Structure 1
Amino acid sequence: MDSPHQPPLDRITLTGLGAVGYHGVFEKERRSGQPFFVDLVLHVDLRPAAATDDLTLTVHYGEVAEMVREIIIGTRFQLIEALAEEIARALLASFPAIVALDVTVHKPKAPIDVTFSDVAVSICRTRAGLPDGGAR
């Protein structure tokens, strides 16, 4: 992500954003729901906001958290991979300051017949990976 011509990006991290969602391959999961948790790392150039103390020059993490919650509870997917992809797509489309992001979706109550503490899928997406190449 970093290049010799571009300084390293700063990060805004949100950990453990949670809501009950109705995602899963099995009918019981889609009917009963279960908790899902999302961790985000937003890669952003925070220098303009830091220099001016202006919220409009950064990413409002409260709005990000609300959007993630609405995606968890408002959309149904069979796979947490698809949930992670939708979160990444929506955040990149809604917040132009995000250059790239890491999304981890946790499904701690996945229907597995083995003792485990968590199942998670992590993806990394960039603005350049958007269908329009990130043009705004």
Structure 2
Amino acid sequence: MTDRIALRGLTVRGHHGVFDVERREGQDFVVDVELELSTRAAAASDDLADTVHYGELAEALATVVGGEAVDLLETLAERLAEVCLSDARVAAATVTVHKPQAPIPLTFADVAVTIRREQASR
């Protein structure tokens, strides 16, 4: 029964990481979110007010990524999940934070952390 709304590839400059250079110079973080919710009301009404406005969601997520620095991707992902769950219609959210320029002295494609969180009342 649960429907999904996905936002993928949101790229925002942030200053997260445990190393001084990461905090000082910053780097791009890429965020993917998938929201679990019912879209029946929106489908029936064809009204944006009956669903999650993904443009507003993107802005709110970008504010977090570009805001207060944290050491760990896990912490950043948790904060982003809280943003997703701030809309009571969202039953659960899966958040992936990618750090493609992580300071690893080897060739790699990506580093990412994925979490899934549900509304506390469900």
Give the TM-score of the pair, scaled to structure 1. 0.87
Higher relative contact order (CA 8 A, sep 6+): 2
What is the aligned counterpart of 1:123 among 96, 106, 115? 115
For residues 77 and 16 of structure 1, the distance between their equivalents in structure 2, rounded to whole angstroms, comes to 20
1:109 corresponds to which residue?
101
Superposition deviation, residue 72 in structure 1: 0.5
| Larger Rg, first or second structure (1 or 2) | 1
1:52-108 CA-partner distances (Å, limit 9, x unpaired): 111111100000000011000012110011000001012212x12111010000000
For residues 107 and 37 of structure 1, the distance between their equivalents in structure 2, rounded to whole angstroms, comes to 7
Question: Does the alignment pair 1:40 with 2:22?
Answer: no
What is the aligned counterpart of 1:73 among 66, 70, 80? 66
Query: How many positions carry a matched residue from both structures?
Result: 122
1:31-72 CA-partner distances (Å, limit 9, x unpaired): 000000000101110001001111111100000000011000
1:92 corresponds to which residue?
85
- What's the C-alpha RMSD, in Å, of the aligned pairs? 1.0
Q: Quick check: 2:35–2:84 contact (8 Å CA) kept in 1? A: no
Q: What's the % identity of the aligned pairs?
A: 51
Structure 1 residue ranges (4+ consecutive) displaced by more than 6 angstroms after TM superposition: none
1:4 corresponds to which residue?
none
Gaps of 5+ in 2: none
